[in-house]
Amino acid sequence: MKLTDFFDTYEDYSELIEPKAVALAKEYRLVTKQVKQQFKYIATIKDEYLQHFMLRWFQLGTLYQRLLDIRKELKKIKFSYMLAQVQFKKKDPKEFKPLAIEQAKQIKVETILDEITKRVFHNTYLCPLHNEKSGSLKVYRNNNTWYCFGCCKGGSVIDLVMKHYDMSLSDAVTWLVGGLG
Ligand SMILES: [Zn+2]
């Protein structure tokens, strides 16, 4: 993960109703600013002030870690928020169109996995469906599917959402299309 990836993300969290998300987004922006300042400052330190230099790097590391933590917390809030939206919405079965399934399937398996679990290798993840320390879940980009060699589950992006969030097909599709599409 590049540091620059963080800078312009999570600007839109103020739209979320959850006050905690708003507060975190605010802190995220503040810490990002501090990281940028630290970076700028470190660049000006001359070699002979090594101790000073190290201290600043240490501080930067702490700030950076906080950014990672905030990012994680925001992701959790965002997903539970989207989940709640789906669960509270009363759905008319007639409104559920097959087109939506096709639309949902356009969303990359990796987009979802990046949100709910950890990437171990470029197409390998820690399986979110069973407890593990090594990555058993592989993503097949050519047909946008996945398979876990640990728990022998796999399928489309819709299957992943259904299994991970214990959702019905209709809920999973609504969530995918409405939340991320
Ligand atoms: Zn698994």
DSSP E strands, the chain = 119-121, 124-125, 137-140, 145-148, 154-155
pTM of the model: 0.52
115-170 residue pLDDT tens: 899 999 889 999 999 999 999 999 999 999 999 999 999 999 999 999 998 888 88
Q: Tell me, in angstroms, the distance from the centre of ligand 1 to residue 82's CA.
A: 24
Q: Tell me, in angstroms, the distance from the centre of ligand 1 to residue 140's CA.
A: 15
Copy the structure tokens of residue 89: 């919405």
Q: Tell me, in angstroms, the distance from the centre of ligand 1 to residue 118's CA.
A: 13
Q: Tell me, in angstroms, the distance from the centre of ligand 1 to residue 127's CA.
A: 4
**93-180 topology per CATH:** DNA Primase; Chain A (3.90.580)
With bands split at pLDDT 50, 70 and 90, how would you rate the model's confidence at 178?
confident
Q: Tell me, in angstroms, the distance from the centre of ligand 1 to residue 160's CA.
A: 11
What's the mean pLDDT in 112-117?
91
Q: Tell me, in angstroms, the distance from the centre of ligand 1 to residue 128's CA.
A: 7
Q: Tell me, in angstroms, the distance from the centre of ligand 1 to residue 131's CA.
A: 7
Domain ranges of the chain: 4-88, 93-180
Q: Tell me, in angstroms, the distance from the centre of ligand 1 to residue 132's CA.
A: 8
Distances (CA, A) of 140 to 15, 43, 132: 34, 42, 20
pLDDT of residue 22: 72
